[in-house]
Structures are given as C-alpha cells and as structure tokens.
Amino acid sequence: MKPIKVGLLGLGTVGTGVVRIIQNHQEDLVMQTGSPIEITKILVKNAGKSRNIDVSSAQLTEDAWDIINDGEIDVIVEVMGGIEPTKTYILEALARGKHIVTANKDLMALHGQEIMAHAARKNCDVFYEASVAGGIPIIRTIREGFASDRITKIMGIVNGTTNYILTKMCQEGADYPEVLKEAQALGYAEADPTSDVEGLDAARKMAILATLGFNVEVALDDVSVQGISSISSDDITYSQRLGYELKLLGIAERDNDSISVTVQPTLIKKGHPLASVNGVFNAVYVYGEAVGETMFYGPGAGELPTATSVVADLVAVSKNTNLGVNGRRVTAPYKQKKLKTDEEVAYKNFILLHVSDEPGVLANIAQVFSQHQVSLQSVLQQPNPNNPDAEIIIITHEANQASMKKVLNEFTTLDDVRRVVSVYRVED
C-alpha cells in the first residue's frame, strides 16, 4: 500500500512526541490503516540545532513553503501554534489538496469555520482532536459517540494550569501569587500566564466544544469569561467549609434552542466526580438526553498525551484516504445561534460580603434579595480575627443573572455593605 506522507509544522514538545509515536508504533499504525505513515519534512526554526529525537538533516527545513508546495506530501500536521502565519499555511495547504491535522485551539476557536469551509470545497479532512483536553478524545466522542443523542450540557476542567493552581491552594492553603510562581517554575504556567489564569484558554476550548455539541457556530465573544486571579485563600476555605471544591469550569448549556457558554470559578459539591480532578489533569462531563451523564478524564497536556491525539487524527486521515472518503465528515454548524439572555441564565450563587458588625444588617441584606426575588439556600456569618467587619457567606437558590446583577448593584449603595468580596457560580 502507498505510504501516507506527512509534513510536520513544528518540532517542539508536541511535534517531538508525534515523531516518537510514529517511529515507535509504525507496525501498529500500518495494521490499523493499511499504509505506512512517513514524516518526510519537518519545519523547524533552526535546522542546525541538536535534538533528542532521531530525525535526519534531510527531513528538516526552515521554510514552510518547502512543505506546502511539496506535491508528494498528503497530510500536514500543524503543531507550531499561533494565528499567523499558521492560518495562511493551512489555507494554502488546503488549496493544494492537503489534509490537515492541528493541535491549535486558538486558530480553531477563532477561524475554525473558515478553515472547515475551505476543506469542504477541496474534499479535504481537517481534524483537531488535540486542540482540546490533550490526550482525552473528547472531540471525536462528541462528534461520533453522541451522534445519535442530543447534548444538553458540557461541563469541564479544560485548563491544567488553573486546575494545578487551585488544587495547590485547596490542599495546602497557599495564596494565589505564591502558587502561580511555583507553577511557572515547574513549566505549567507561561511567563505571561494571562491566557490561562484569566480563563481565555479555557474559553477557546469551550467555544470549540459548544460548536460541536450544539451544532451552532459559537464565537469566542459568545463565551462569558471570569478567571481565577482574584480568588483568595478565604474563598477556598469557606468553599470547603460548606462542602464544596472551587474549580475553574467551562460550562455550555442548551435549553430548547437557546444556549449559554461560560468559563468561571465554580463551587462544585465534593461528591461530584469533577471535584476530585486535581493537578494538571482535565475532565469533561457531557450530558445527553438519551445516555444521561458521562465523564471523560485524563492528562490535558504534555508531549505524549497530546501527540497521541494528533496521531489518532493522522490514523483517521489515513483510513479515509485508503477508503476514498476524505472530506465527507466535514459538517458545518446548521442551527441558528440563539444566546440566552440574563433572564434565561440561572444558577446558584456563592457570595462573600464584608458588612458592618451591627444589629439589623443581615435583615437589610435579606430584604434586598427578597425585593429582586432571589431566595437564599444558606447564610453563614463567620468571624475573622483579621477583619473588623463581619463576614457573611451566602448561597442562593437558583436565580437568574438579571436579578443577581440588580442585587449586587444595590449592595454598592448600602452603607452596611462594606465590600462585595466574591461572587461565584455553584454547581450541586
């Protein structure tokens, strides 16, 4: 059988893992696909650099166009990251009839539909399993495993950096700045951690998952985002005292034809499977009308876990090539997008207030909630020797966000409320 020839854009951590797997698992890959998979050219920044992987100098190039214009290359694997010039390379490769495997979540979240449209016109495959949750095959599962079901909710931990930070804060009582420095020293967080800690990385992944799960074109701007940089050790302590763990969760929900997609710190009951997902691991919970609740758990990053997803996509392209069915699995979102309004988005809320330590304050606060039809599930007044004001921790019953915004706005006008310290979503 004719070999499947691959051009690899990037030889960093993931690219190196792709080369290792293809070299070490060649016999298994041939048995699965019916064809050898050969990496013929690799784009690198410095071809003369020494590497801990067995590649020949003849395979290396510093010019991406050597790969894009090579008529013998069937598939381009993109693991270089970024938006440009990556997008240009991929569109030009598709124009030449080459199939694409990418791990680029930023590109697929922002320009995925444009890329898929180009692929459909050229009968090319575009696979991007590694763009979300590393080694967890969540994209293939949503696209194929739930094909006969109707997904109503996708909820998960899709960023390992923030999960590592929150795990350390929960288990060791450490403060956020301290744990962030440790995460950077270990290589879990970038020198500029903004994308991770402010929830942008998770938002891109949730846009991809929601688009697939709901068959609606979800843009990054459609995702409501709140990061973890303002979370304090007090937030962690009170969450745990109330029987919750604090996680950065991506949550995409569909009710009838209306959807909402958010990324935000969320209190989740300790008995829930997501509450025990710690460190840099990822997990995605998917709710289907027929199957009910399912969860997918595994490493969210790393050389071999992510490379495994890339090579799995390569196997899919190879099988399609041998069957002559490339490009037939490209399905554009076909449902009209209707985002939920604040009146339609409802969930429980955790609120930490610093208030005057005087009689009648709690009654005044309760009256504000009552005026805006928000009922309370629990109220705890907690003494804090480091704070002369009283600390009140409230968990509401499910309340729509229009009402909650009115409550929080009114708190800013009350003399009794010194400060609204924290407001987080609660998932039981």
Q: Is the dihedral of CA 157, 163, 169, 175 positive or negative?
A: negative
What was the pLDDT predicted at 300? 84
56 in helix, strand or coil? coil
Crossing angle between the packed helical segments 13-24 and 303-323, to the nearest 10 degrees: 60
First-residue to last-residue Cα distance in the chain:
54
CA distance linking residue 141 with residue 213, whole number of Å: 10
Q: Report how far apart, in Å, the C-alpha atoms of 193 and of each of 199, 208, 231, 422 are.
A: 10, 21, 15, 22
427 in helix, strand or coil? strand
Enumerate the β-bridge partners of residue 77.
8, 101
Give the pLDDT of the chain (428 residues) as one tens digit per residue.
789 999 999 999 999 999 999 999 999 999 999 999 999 999 999 999 999 899 999 999 999 999 999 999 999 999 999 999 999 999 999 999 999 999 999 999 999 999 999 999 999 999 999 999 988 999 999 999 999 999 999 999 999 999 999 999 999 999 999 999 999 998 888 899 999 999 999 999 999 999 999 999 999 999 999 999 999 999 999 999 999 999 999 999 999 899 999 999 999 999 999 999 999 999 999 999 999 999 999 988 888 899 999 999 999 999 999 989 998 876 778 899 999 999 999 999 999 999 998 888 999 999 999 999 999 999 998 777 777 888 999 999 999 999 999 999 999 999 999 999 999 999 98
Enumerate the β-bridge partners of residue 348.
426
What was the pLDDT predicted at 359? 87
Q: Is the dihedral of CA 15, 20, 23, 27 positive or negative?
A: negative
Q: Tell me yes or no: is domain 145-299 CATH 3.30.360.10.
A: yes
Nearest CA to 190 out of 161, 227, 225, 167 is that of 161
Q: Report how far apart, in Å, the C-alpha atoms of 244 and of each of 270, 273, 279, 400, 426 are.
A: 5, 12, 17, 21, 9
**Both tokens of residue 230?**
């303002």
What was the pLDDT predicted at 171? 93
CA distance linking residue 390 with residue 50, whole number of Å: 61
Q: Report how far apart, in Å, the C-alpha atoms of 108 and of each of 34, 74, 87, 216, 376 are.
A: 29, 21, 9, 14, 41
What was the pLDDT predicted at 330? 67
Cα within 13 Å of Cα(202), Cβ side? 35
Q: Report how far apart, in Å, the C-alpha atoms of 98 and of each of 19, 42, 206, 232, 327 are.
A: 19, 15, 27, 49, 11
Nearest CA to 349 out of 289, 406, 295, 292 is that of 406
Cα three-residue angle 395-399-403, rounded to 5 degrees: 110
Crossing angle between the packed helical segments 26-33 and 13-24, to the nearest 10 degrees: 80
Q: Tell me yes or no: is domain 4-134+303-323 CATH 3.40.50.720.
A: yes
CA distance linking residue 398 with residue 419, whole number of Å: 23
Q: Report how far apart, in Å, the C-alpha atoms of 67 and of each of 5, 90, 96, 320 are.
A: 11, 11, 11, 22
Q: Which residue has the tokens 């967080």?
A: 189
- Which amino acid, one-letter code, is at 376? L
**Both tokens of residue 414?**
């009350």
What was the pLDDT predicted at 387? 77
Main-chain phi, psi angles of 6, to 5 degrees: -120, 135
Catalytic residues: 205
Q: Tell me yes or no: is domain 346-427 CATH 2.60.40.10.
A: no
**Both tokens of residue 270?**
């300790």
Q: To the nearest 10°, report the CA torsion of 88, 94, 99, 100.
A: 20
Domain map of the chain by residue range? 4-134+303-323, 145-299, 346-427
What was the pLDDT predicted at 228? 97
Identify whether the C-beta of residue 166 lies closer than 8 Å to the C-beta of residue 246: yes
Q: To the nearest 10°, report the CA torsion of 25, 29, 35, 41.
A: -50
CA distance linking residue 225 with residue 239, whole number of Å: 21
What was the pLDDT predicted at 303? 85
Identify whether the C-beta of residue 228 lies closer than 8 Å to the C-beta of residue 162: yes
Phi-psi region of 173 (alpha: psi -120 to 50; beta: other; left: phi over 0): left
